[in-house]
Amino acid sequence: MDTTITTGWWGCTGCGVEAELPVTATAGCEVPCPDCAQPMTEKWLWEAAA
């Protein structure tokens, strides 16, 4: 079974919008909110379903 974490859940502290994003696209990057452009914070990660 592959236990690689592939998805992260992000939230904006400015406006509250939430987004599910692939970890490979966001690793080491500051993710801007699509609604208000403030930086989003990573809330949690999870593995892909087997």
> Which is nearest to 29 in space by CA: 41, 46, 17?
41
Taking only the tens place, the pLDDT of each residue in 2-39 is: 556 678 888 998 999 998 888 877 777 788 998 999 99
Q: What pLDDT shows up at residue 48?
A: 57
The model's pTM: 0.63
What is the CA angle 8-21-30, rounded to 5? Answer: 90
Q: With bands split at pLDDT 50, 70 and 90, how would you rate the model's confidence at 1?
A: very low
β-bridge partners, 45: 8
2 — alpha (psi -120 to 50), left (phi > 0) or beta? beta
